[in-house]
Structure 1
């Protein structure tokens, strides 16, 4: 079924809460609806620090992208982009290196509807958008949008922020398999920036949050610090290694003391491929 121009009509399911729109609400965005705000309210009722956790995760994305660009990375592959909330990754990267190239990837048609905001590149650089699912990494690294924008024979910064906890393990540690496939497709000198929710600090509250997401049709899989560390196997961690998002190279050292581990409820790290 299509619209008046014959284009397929996408059901955005606005009557159901969606993880991307819940996150948008937590960040103070405007692309969210009653079902999303209701679910967000339920999360905040059991975990009032959710707004803090969303903010510090977003700030980690900004700092890690900036530092990767300063270290010479000029190509970025951001999977699990989410609804655009300025400043977006390309704005941070191109603020350091105007010639930076960025490919955004998400499986959510709502993100696709807002992709124009992700394509406002500097004249020297380039951005592209690919609708794809992280659970099919082969389709991502061979997609025309990726191959036309990035040179996969040169280092690429892979961003998997606040994404892999939405990929269940199943019977074979699928989440780790997916990341290994993506890592294998990138050359020496590439980097992985990643954050991931954990129940290590507040197991009861996080279990209740998992139930809220499950009621909206989304599975959340928390991982321990050791399980998170496995995503970086074979790559060299940047200092300070695996830590909480607000403790990863804070702009102001005092910022790292204002949030507790339980409020952060997330691990973050950056690593480089030897």
Structure 2
């Protein structure tokens, strides 16, 4: 049970958690904090949070759980704003998509990552953003990864796990480096490819016809290109090395496909496509 949860960044991620925890009666009070009042006023109006403040120091007073659901580039500034204002038993966690960057941000502010800071990442989302997009069941049967460090308080970790489980999530632990490499391949690369494809097609001389005749396959593949560009710009910069590794591996495979098509290599194309289909079918079977 959480007495006072403070959420920095009450958008899709933070707002969905707030709604889920309210349904579970897991929080006595949920307070939102941001740089602008408009989104927070909407969050109160929608019943997502109980109240808000624009003052980070005031927000975290007497809080026992603090969630940073802000863009990756804003993590350090929020931590700096609340440093020295949190209670001794307050747990700090985040929802950032690149954990090494978050750890570095905490180190830059505190010198070393506090033992009550538990890096985390909910593997759930949507292409829409803002508090209006918040969903009460966003985390149900979705994974949340926590990446505690060697000196992270076990009690703090368990409290973060319990919070996400109360929202319906399946929580797993992973080390920071492995998390960033895996997410670069499974999330960051697909988003980068979707953005790049839509950008490429939009600059074509026949872009009007391309979008006019685009059907379900195009919509399915490019849906995530409607995601928040600021958030994904930050992710590309903050998880740069792992994303570059994934892009380079994809470029190598795409180059092979290019050569097979150029050479009319029927068997090579069939092998690649069959292997991809088998891999995806196996993935879907495990999900069911």
TM norm structure 1 = 0.28
> Higher helix proportion, which one?
2
TM-score using structure 2 length: 0.27
